[in-house]
Amino acid sequence: MSWIPAPVSRFFHRTSSPPHFYALADRFIPWLTVIFLLLLGAGLYGGLYLAPTDYQQGDSYRIIYIHVPAAWMSLFIYVLMAVMGGIALIWRMKLAEVMLISSAPIGAGFTFVALVTGSLWGKPMWGTWWVWDARLTSELILLFLYLGVISLYGAIEEKRAAARAVSILALVGVVNIPIIHYSVQWWNTLHQGPTVSKMDKPSIHVSMLVPLLLMAAAFKFYYLIAVLQAAKLELLKRETTSQWVKTLLEKQA
Amino acid sequence: MKPIRKQRLFLIILMLAGLGLAATFALQAFNENLMYFFSTSDVAAGKAPTNAVFRLGGMVVKGSVERPNADLLVRFKLSDFEKEVTVEYSGILPDLFREGQGIVAKGQLDSRGVFVAEEVLAKHDENYMPPEVAGSLKKPAAQP
């Protein structure tokens, strides 16, 4: 890999070795938890207490502090999974496989939260729990993609073969991501257009935007914590017979 | 990069390009089915189905909402700032229904060319602001 500087490449090789990664994750998780709790506290206080009520929706709009970050995460995690899938297929890197499969349940969770909170908001605002417009339908397909990744991985006994199959599924599903993002612009949908993620100035008042961005950051840190925990467990399961797991267990016993 | 890895990378790029192309064609083909509603210009141009239920979206024209009888019947005009269509609906309107608000109505055109709705959904726009800001936006600019 001549096009990547040697120290960077060495760093990746070191971190991608399971025992190193395991120790690194252990060291990072407490710090990540502190940052997550701080961001979450600030975001919730700002969003539920400091932010003003909306001129049309009153207090109901406050569900965006969960709904929007969760929906962003559902797309973000899927793209990450596809990148991991690509790395796993090209370089056959074990850690990428582990990160890919550890991300799937978290992404599915965020997608589910986005769908449910959207539905709870839709009933009083739109007058309906659910419509089959392009945005809602493509987001539901994303949930099924996540569930597909989880079940395909579970269905194949040999885990390296399972990871390869799942990598391909993750890459195939990535076409859905731009469809979800642009659905509100390409077609007439009941779901409103983008408020924050557009080229123009965000069409949300700054006092409401700041807590939203804090919540989005908090969700990112939550994902990091959750994925590292899940990856640690997955590594232990896969490498039960290896020397580093044995030494680790002896140390803890 | 080792040749085998280069080859795998190439295959993945090829797969994604193929999928992207396939998805584009599929979505192009189903473009009309993916539209959640017709605009009022579509109806005026005769693009909307007759004798069939479809959805119509647009802004409720300011000053057009009227209740001709004492019952729940509401009559209003929808517009996309080009063409207007009259809508009749009898039932409970969602919270966000008001003049100047975007809505989506489901129903069909009758012989008078009036859209008889059986369901009305409010379409929220992407703007969020405190009431004071919304109030100051509506006020005319101060005279110098």
The domain total for chain A is: 1
d(CA A41, CA A39): 5
Residue B32 carries which side chain, given as an amino acid letter?
A: E
Domain boundaries, chain B: 1-34, 37-138
* A81 within domain boundaries: yes
Whole-angstrom distance, CA of residue A90 vs CA of residue B99:
57
| pLDDT band at residue A2 under the 50/70/90 scheme | low
Residue A165, domain member (yes or no): yes
Picking from B37, B124, B133, B136 by the largest number of A CB atoms within 10 A of its own CB, the best residue to mutate is B124
Backbone φ and ψ for A74, nearest 5 degrees, come out as -60, -35
With a cut of 90, say whether residue B35 has pLDDT above it: no
Residues on chain B touching A187 (C-beta within 8 angstroms): 31, 34-36
The verdict on whether residue B124 carries a ligand-binding annotation is: yes
Whole-number Å distance between alpha carbons of A67 and A92: 36
Top mean pLDDT of A139-143, A190-194, B63-67 is at: A139-143
- Using DSSP's 3-state secondary structure scheme, residue A79 falls into helix
Residue A198 maps to a domain: no
Put simply, the answer to whether A126 touches B127 (Cβ < 8 Å) is: no
CB contact under 8 A, B36 and A187: yes
Residues of A in contact with B99 (CB under 8 A): none
What percent of chain B is helix, strand and coil (3-state, nearest 5)? 30, 30, 40
Give residue B142's pLDDT band: very low, low, confident or very high (50, 70, 90): very low
Backbone CA torsion sign across A219, A221, A226, A231: positive
* CB burial readout B83-122, b (16+ within 10 A) else e: ebbbbbbeeebbebbeeeebbbbbbbbeeeeebbbeebbb
pTM for the whole thing? 0.86
Structural domain of A247: 29-192+224-252
ipTM of the complex: 0.74
Which residues of chain A have a CB within 8 Å of the CB of B129? Answer: 54-55, 204-205, 208
pLDDT value for A221 = 97
Extract the tokens encoding A13: 């090789």
Q: Read off the pLDDT band of B38 (50, 70, 90).
A: confident
In A, which residues are within 8 Å of B121 by CB distance? 126-128, 131, 190
Does A214 fall in a domain? no
Q: Are strands B54-60 and B73-79 parallel, antiparallel or unpaired?
A: antiparallel
Q: Across-strand partners of B105? A: B56, B120
Nearest CA to A217 among A24, A44, A101? A44
Above pLDDT 70, what percent of chain A? 98
Q: Does A154 fall in a domain? A: yes
Q: Give me the pLDDT at residue B144, please.
A: 41
Q: Which residues share a beta bridge with B74?
A: B89
Rounded distance between C-alpha atoms, residue A21 and residue A27, angstroms: 10
As a whole number of Å, the CA-based R_g of chain A is 20
Answer yes or no: do B35 and A89 touch at CB < 8 A: no
Q: Which of A185, A177, A68 is nearest to A133 (CA)?
A: A185
CB–CB of A57 and B124 under 8 A? yes
Q: Is A13 a domain residue?
A: no
Mean pLDDT of A24-46: 95
Contact B36 A89 (CB under 8 A): no
Cα distance from B2 to chain A (closest Cα, Å)?
8
Contact by Cβ (8 Å): B43, B56 = yes
The residues in B 25-84 lying below 8 A from A, measured between CB atoms, are 27, 31, 34-39, 57
**Secondary-structure class of domain B37-138 per CATH:** mainly beta
Quick check: A61 and A54 in contact, CB under 8 A?
A: yes
Q: How many residues does chain A have?
A: 253
* CB A145, CB A172: distance < 8 Å: no
- The H or E element containing residue A208 is helix A206-238
Per CB-CB distance under 8 Å, the chain A contacts of B119 are: 127-128
* CB contact (8 A) between residue A203 and residue B127: yes
Helix axes B3-29, A176-186, angle to 10 degrees: 30
Q: From chain A, pick out residues whose CB is under 8 angstroms from the CB of B125.
A: 192-193
- Strands B115-123 and B84-90 come out as parallel
Contact B131 A57 (CB under 8 A): no
Instruction: Provide long-range contacts, Cβ within 8 A and 24+ apart, for B65-69.
Output: B65/B99
